[in-house]
């Protein structure tokens, strides 16, 4: 079956530091990969996505590259801000599947 | 521009009480989902509806029932609430069941406490 594994948090950084949150997956077929962000007290919202191998998704300074050879989709940002403090979820969806599969989420805390 | 709307936002129940969580989406999506979110557990799928008229169990369906009332609405019912059902509940929807590249859209959640 499908599964997503992401690094455990919390990840604590100072403002302007470089961010990496690791995500690896197992899936049947050719999945699409997603990163969602959940700000405190809110629901999840899509941050970025990639639908085929070697695609790079990007949004709000965040990037992630779909690496089929390493089954990974690591999230990166060059310079984090306090406002990036949130929980980040890696997810996948396989063609023909009705159900997105989520990782457990990684909490990011950015200090001024 | 409502998207996915959940009601209520907060609820406190006594053990044994029943309640229904309401969810509606205005994006003409086929698939709808109910998740619960607990600390350290991430999101766990309770039930889903691939299309209007169908519902299926997810990972943690015990103690819950669902109704896909029409294409827009998907409700979650707790018949006899238990403290273990204290959680944050999220409804989500996505376009065209079976398409891989369609993301899920989430409501803002219902924070339920069972005492």
Confidence at residue B14, expressed as pLDDT on a 0 to 100 scale:
97
Look at B45 and A34 and tell me if their CB atoms are within 8 Å. Answer: no
pLDDT one-digit tens code per residue, A60-100:
999 999 999 999 999 999 999 999 999 999 999 886 677 88
Residuewise pLDDT in 10s, chain B (115 residues): 679 999 999 999 999 999 999 999 999 999 999 999 998 888 999 999 988 889 999 999 999 999 998 999 999 999 999 999 999 999 999 986 556 678 899 999 999 999 9
pLDDT at B97: 57
Closest CB to A32 among B40, B48, B101: B101
Report whether pLDDT(A17) > 70.
yes
Both tokens of B63, joined, read: 């103690």
Pair of tokens at residue A65? 């590259």
B100 and A44: CB-CB below 8 Å? no
Chain B: residue whose CA lies nearest to A104: B42
Distance from CA of A105 to the nearest CA of B (A): 6
B43 to chain A: which residues are within 8 Å by CB? 44, 89, 102, 105
Coil, strand or helix at B33: strand
DSSP chain A: --EEEE--S-EEEETT--EEE-EEEE-SS--EEEEEEE-TTS-EEEEEEE-STT-EEEETTEEEE-BTTTTB--EEESS--GGG-EEEEEEEE-TT-S--EE---EEEEEE-
Beta strands in B26-86 (DSSP E): 31-38, 42-49, 56-57, 64-68, 74-78
Search chain B and give the residue with CA nearest A35.
Answer: B103
B50/A30 Cβ within 8 A: no
Does A30 reach chain B within 8 Å, measured CB to CB? Answer: yes
Nearest chain B residue to A105 by CA: give it.
B42
Quote the minimal CA–CA distance from A51 to chain B in Å.
Answer: 6
- Per-residue pLDDT, B1: 65
CB A17 within 8 A of CB A112: no
How far is residue B60's CA from residue B63's CA, in Å, rounded to a whole number? 9
- How far is the CA of A43 from the CAs of A95, A102, B54, B74, in angstroms? 25, 14, 25, 17
At B90, which helix (H) or strand (E)?
Answer: strand B87-94
Q: What is the mean pLDDT of chain A?
A: 93
pLDDT of residue B98: 57
Q: Which pLDDT score, from 0 to 100, does residue B114 have?
A: 97
Mean pLDDT within A46-62:
95
- Give the mutation candidate from B101, B105, B107 for the A interface (greatest A CB count, under 10 A): B101
Q: Collect all residues with Cβ–Cβ distance below 8 Å to B50 and sequence separation of at least 6.
A: A98, B30, B31, B56, B97, B98
Q: Cβ distance B21 to B111 under 8 Å?
A: no
Contact in structure between B114 and A60 (CB atoms under 8 Å): no
Number of alpha carbons in the 13 Å side-chain half-sphere of residue A35: 30
């Amino acid at each position: 079956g499908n599964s997503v594994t992401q690094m455990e948090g919390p990840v604590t950084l100072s403002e302007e530091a470089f961010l990496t949150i690791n995500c690896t997956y197992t899936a049947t077929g050719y999945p699409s990969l997603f990163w969602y962000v959940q700000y405190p007290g809110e629901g999840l919202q899509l941050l970025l996505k990639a639908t085929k191998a070697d695609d790079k998704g990007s949004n709000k300074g965040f990037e992630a590259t779909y690496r089929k050879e390493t089954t990974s989709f690591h999230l990166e940002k060059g310079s984090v801000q306090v406002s990036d403090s949130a929980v980040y979820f890696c997810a996948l969806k396989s063609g023909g599947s009705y159900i997105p599969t989520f990782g457990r989420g990684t909490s990011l805390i950015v200090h001024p | 521009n409502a998207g996915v709307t959940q009601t209520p936002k907060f609820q406190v129940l006594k053990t044994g009480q029943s309640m229904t969580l309401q969810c509606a989406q205005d994006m003409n999506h086929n698939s709808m989902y109910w998740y619960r979110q607990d600390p350290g557990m991430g999101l766990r799928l309770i039930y889903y509806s691939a299309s209007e008229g169908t519902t299926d169990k997810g990972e943690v369906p015990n103690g819950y029932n669902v109704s896909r009332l029409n294409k827009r609405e998907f409700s979650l019912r707790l018949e006899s609430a238990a403290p273990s059902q204290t959680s944050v509940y999220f409804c989500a929807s996505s376009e065209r069941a079976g398409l891989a590249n369609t993301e899920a859209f989430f409501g803002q959640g219902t924070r339920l406490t069972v005492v």
